[in-house]
Structure 1
Amino acid sequence: MSLSLADIDRLAHLARLGLGSDERNRLCTQLNDFFGIVEKMRAVDTSDIIPLAHPVEIMGDVALRLRDDIASEPNQREANQRNAPALESGLFLVPRVIE
């Protein structure tokens, strides 16, 4: 797939971009280079490749270094709500927005 300067002009119009002639030519070259890379990727035969849900799957059983899910901070609800204008049952009260 190759874009022409007319295609670039149409895209610039749709995106409401004002491009000069230098920018048009540079953008055309860059987009065509990008589409060339995409075409090379499409040419690779991937019919025998099984899709992965996560890239770590290919490495087998990997022990991820995750910390234990434990509460490490004390509950500071009262301190955090001390300067709230209105509270009820430990919850912030806010003005009604929708009637």
Structure 2
Amino acid sequence: MPVNIYRVTPEGQKNEPIAWLCDDDWRLLEQSEELEAWLAEQGPTLKPAHYVADIGFAPRRDAMGGGAALSPELMRMMADLGMYLFLSEYPADDEP
């Protein structure tokens, strides 16, 4: 579930799927960059509402610090649309 973007609907209704990005890429850096590029292109076509961008990622085995950073532009685009960011951490494929 790398990046699932959806619009939250009133209670009792199914949320509206908007986009699915980075299908098999579980790396947070690439996902955040793809989300920013997608929002720059598609964001102007969306009306402000209650959206969620849920990034499902797996931690890097080789991590020694650092990692993804969200740009002010990405945060601004998300805020202008009323978009929440969920960071959903999943175990790596080869973990028990």
TM-score class, shorter? under 0.3
TM-score by length of 1: 0.24
Q: Could you say which structure has the greater relative contact order, defined with CA pairs below 8 angstroms and 6 or more residues apart? A: 2
Q: Which has the larger radius of gyration?
A: 1
As a proportion of its length, which structure holds more helix? 1
